[in-house]
Amino acid sequence: MPEGDTVFQAARRLHAALAGAELTRTDFRVPRYATADLSGERVDEVVARGKHLLVRTPAWSIHSHLKMEGEWRVFAPGERWTKPGHLARVVLETSAAVVVGFELGTVELLPRADEAAALAYLGPDLLGEEWGASPEAAAHSAAEAVARLAATPPDIPVAVALLDQRNLAGLGNVYVNELCFLRGIRPDRPIGDVPDLPAVVDLGRRLLVANRDRVARVTTGVDRRGQRLWVYGRAGEPCRRCGTRIERGEIGRAVADSVTDPQERVAFWCPNCQR
């Protein structure tokens, strides 16, 4: 399930394949940009912004969002694609690589100058460079995330507030469920009743940072199949801490990635460890 760590890794792979190279061919397989041609543009960088991925040239920003099924793959010129061509939404070619975005949920071609405004609604990116720029920058980002969570209507479930990318960018349903367990908070607890929001934000960032270089997500500290997560996807199984059966339910209507994309979210919790 694509979350902030997945997009961070995808951006790193695409940056290695595209940065500094000239685009020799582009193919946007979405009606709005079917005639767009960025051939001759040189790629400056590829970066992640929460769950959003940006391929930047001096003039343009190719903005994509994976949603549930999306994926970017890198091929050598002439190499057979490993997914059907009809699933491709964007094809970017250089002399050394063919980069294909399959089943992308969102594809936009933005003037570079308009990129910041298009993503201005997003909260602080938990994997953003600003956290490592300086202690002051990190403190500012953390304080902004806490302030946005605190400004959420107090009766909103904490899981919904954490999934809302307007509060903080990068957390998806897996991390939110695991974060709630680690903090001992039921995911349906109203955000107004959640103590120590700074600790919640700090742990959310630490979970993402700990997994941004991993192949598989690990929140338990045990990197073995079937032992990596505390509660997510484990309904009916015993809690790894107390043995109580993990419960499953649906939480509210979460604004997951934009103000126009409401979704119900599945939640998992231990009724003993999370009160």
Domains of the chain plus CATH, in order, are 4-119 (3.20.190.10), 135-269 (1.10.8.50)
Average confidence (pLDDT) over 261-272: 82
pLDDT of residue 275: 86
Count of other CB atoms within 10 angstroms of residue 274: 22
Mean pLDDT of 84-107: 97
Instruction: Read off the pLDDT band of 131 (50, 70, 90).
Output: confident
Instruction: Find the catalytic residue in 148, 186, 228, 265.
Output: 265
Residue 265 is a catalytic residue: yes
Q: Flag the least confident range among 18-22, 92-96, 201-205, 212-216.
A: 212-216
Return the DSSP state at 23.
P
Cβ atoms within 10 Å, residue 99:
23
Q: What is the pLDDT of residue 262?
A: 46
What is the model's pLDDT at position 2? 84
pLDDT (0 to 100) of residue 95: 97
Instruction: Kindly give the pairing relationship between strand 98-102 and strand 88-93.
Output: antiparallel
- Residue 264 banded pLDDT, cuts 50, 70, 90: confident
How much is the average pLDDT of 78-87? 97
DSSP 34-52: TT---TTPBP-EEEEETTE
**Known catalytic membership, residue 2:** yes
pLDDT exceeds 90 at position 251: no
Contact 63, 108 (CB under 8 A): yes
Is residue 180 within 8 A of residue 198, CB to CB? The reply is no
Q: Which of 49, 51, 89, 234 is catalytic?
A: 51
pLDDT tens, 24-63? 999 999 999 999 999 999 999 999 999 999 999 999 999 9
Q: How far apart are CA 240 and CA 164, in angstroms?
A: 28
SS3 call for 79: coil
Distance CA 71, CA 65 (A): 9
pTM over 0.85: yes
Given the residues 3, 41, 93, 178, the one annotated as active site: 3
**Hey, is 209 helix, strand or coil?**
helix
253: left (phi over 0), alpha (psi -120 to 50) or beta: beta
- What would the pLDDT profile of 201-247 be if each residue is shown by its tens digit? 999 999 999 999 998 999 999 999 999 999 999 999 999 999 999 99
pLDDT tens per residue, range 171-191: 999 999 999 999 999 999 999
Determine which one of 2, 124, 157, 187 is catalytic.
2
For the chain, how long is the longest CA-to-CA vector? 60
Statement: residue 128 has pLDDT above 50: yes
In the predicted model, what is the mean pLDDT of the chain? 94
Q: In what order do the strands lie in the sheet with 106-111?
A: 45-49, 52-56, 60-65, 106-111
Residue 104's pLDDT is what? 97
C-alpha to C-alpha distance for 177 and 162, rounded to whole angstroms: 10
Residue 1: the pLDDT is: 65
